[in-house]
């Protein structure tokens, strides 16, 4: 398990190590063109963060001698924050029967798993792969899915403590999360670790209007603050979340830099 790593640096590592074994085997078989599917939820191909991640991934492959257009072909799918497109793209990639698939986050991995795919899949940015049902156990994942967890799952219990240090007068903490993301399971864990008198408001959001309504709800009463759980939706609406938090002067703890 990899804990507290910068995402783009990790993706370079993923391209260079996590899929090194199958790629090394392929390399011994000559210059036959291989195909890799890529599915990253929460971002679009025009998003600067998405471009940086893919550049890092390609660099990791190139370091191993796998150059796009020469001996490997990459099929990218970018559903943004649309869960319906995510499911559709997952099925589309699996239907292409690539040699392997890179799932750029938990939502993408879950969508691929639901297709009952037998294509080898390597994931990144999954909080707890065992609890999410992606692998049977860390030591021996089993099945065709494996990868690296981004952080230790229990870190969520510390976020409330950090927020109280930042804003000691906080009495209400709104937790923004995507109901389709496994991170939602951390809401009860967070509640159990807070001091008596601190209220947790679970804010399930699935669209831009949901985000606006959730933050306005927290701004309606004094001494509120926000925690944004990691996930594709948090990335897709990051500018909106930050803008509204600043507008309403709400302390905000978020998962990404």
For residue 257, which of 5, 64, 3 has the smallest C-alpha distance? 5
| Range(s) of the domain holding residue 174 | 154-253
Q: Which tokens go with 160?
A: 């409330």
CA nearest to 18, candidates 32, 36, 33, 30: 36
- CATH number of the domain residue 21 falls in: 3.40.50.2300
What whole-number percentage of the chain has pLDDT above 70? Answer: 84
Let me know whether 175 and 139 are in one domain. Answer: no
Q: What CA–CA distance (Å, rounded) separates 146 from 117?
A: 13
Residue 34 pairs with which residues in a beta bridge?
A: 72
- Higher pLDDT pick, 246 / 49: 246
Is there a single domain that holds both residue 138 and residue 19?
Answer: yes
Are residue 237 and residue 133 in the same domain, yes or no? Answer: no
By residue count, the chain amounts to 257
Calculate ∠ Cα 44-62-38, nearest 5°: 30
Statement to judge: residues 215 and 94 lie in one domain: no
pLDDT above 70 for 42: yes
User: What is the per-residue pLDDT for 30?
Assistant: 52
Question: Which position has the token pair 């309403």?
Answer: 248
Query: How many domains would you assign to the chain?
Result: 2
Return the ∠ at Cα 45 (arms to 44 and 47), rounded to 5°: 65
Nearest to 203 by CA among 221, 184, 224: 184
- 105-158 pLDDT, tens per residue? 888 999 999 998 899 999 988 877 887 788 888 778 888 999 987 666 567 678
- The residue whose two tokens read 């993301």 is 181
Helix extents (H) in 20-80? 20-27, 48-63
Tell me the whole-structure pTM to 2 decimals. Answer: 0.62
H or E element at residue 253: strand 252-253
83 within 8 A of 36, measured Cβ to Cβ: no
In a domain, 27, yes or no: yes
């Amino acid at each position: 398990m990899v804990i507290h790593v910068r995402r783009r640096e990790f993706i370079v590592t993923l391209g260079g190590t996590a899929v090194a074994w199958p790629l090394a085997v392929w390399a011994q078989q000559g210059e036959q063109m291989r195909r890799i599917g890529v599915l990253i939820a929460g971002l679009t191909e025009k998003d600067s963060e998405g471009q940086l991640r893919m550049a890092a991934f390609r660099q990791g492959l190139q370091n191993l001698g796998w150059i796009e257009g020469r001996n490997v072909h990459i099929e990218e799918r970018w559903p943004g924050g649309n869960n319906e497109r995510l499911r559709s793209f997952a099925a589309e990639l699996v239907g292409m029967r690539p040699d392997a698939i890179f799932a750029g986050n938990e939502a993408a991995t879950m969508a691929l798993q639901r297709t009952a795919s037998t294509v080898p899949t390597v994931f990144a940015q999954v909080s707890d792969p065992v609890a999410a049902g992606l692998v049977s156990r860390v030591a021996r994942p089993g099945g065709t899915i494996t990868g690296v967890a981004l952080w230790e799952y229990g870190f969520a219990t510390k976020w409330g403590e950090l927020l109280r240090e930042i804003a000691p007068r906080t009495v209400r903490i709104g937790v923004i999360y995507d109901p389709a993301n496994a991170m939602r399971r951390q809401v009860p864990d967070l509640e159990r670790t807070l001091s008596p008198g601190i209220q947790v408001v679970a804010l399930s959001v699935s669209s831009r209007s949901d985000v606006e309504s959730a933050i306005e709800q927290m701004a309606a009463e004094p001494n509120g603050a926000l925690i944004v759980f990691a996930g594709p939706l948090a990335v897709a609406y990051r500018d909106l979340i930050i803008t509204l938090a600043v507008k309403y002067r709400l302390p905000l703890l978020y998962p990404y830099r």
